[in-house]
Amino acid sequence: GHAGPGGGGGQRTGLGPGPGIGVLGAQREGQTPPLALLLMDVDFFKEYNDHYGHPQGDVALKAVSHVLNTVSARAIDLAARIGGEEFVLMLPATSQEGAEKMAHTIQQCLADQALPHAKSNVSRYLTVSIGVAMLGSGDESPSALLGRADRALYEAKAGGRNRFVLDRYPAPATLQVQD
């Protein structure tokens, strides 16, 4: 055959850093993987605390925290308690569909825990309201993203609690056609 010393060997240079550079290039152009932010609030938590006492309130918050850590098993997911009864869950590289699924799963898992809540107007058990926001353009600030999740959370509460609402992000002005 014709496969001499230089025939089939060392011709691999084309496979070197090619794909890696492509990925970096895509990120530079602002096509970062989506980021989902879930903001949660325990429903009627003040009433829960008043009825069951603060120690039991802490148990309830730990239960919510446990649910969050259970459902967000990936190392890059971040769950944190940010207020008295508010939790935030950051889900990098998560689509809108994935975020909605996650919100549903959280509520399902919490329902499975069946923590009695005699003073809730929406359930006999402890529930959460969730606001979901997707990172819009890459140049949106974290506080703006949190603000939108907060707005969605407010809507979830106003809409009857024990539900999640997805913030509808307005299309960035730069995408509008100028004539």
Catalytic residue numbers read 85
Strand partners, 112: none
- Sorted by sequence, the CB contacts under 8 Å of residue 119 that are 6+ apart come out as 44, 47, 48, 50, 51
Q: How far apart are CA 165 and CA 159, in angstroms?
A: 9
Q: Report long-range pairs for 48-57 (Cβ below 8 Å, ≥24 apart).
A: 48/117, 48/119, 48/120, 48/126, 50/119, 51/118, 51/119
Residue 43 has a CB neighbour count (10 Å cut-off) of: 24
**Order of strands, edge to edge, in the sheet holding 35-42?**
78-81, 86-92, 35-42, 128-134, 164-166
What CA dihedral angle connects 40, 43, 47 and 51, to 10 degrees?
Answer: -100
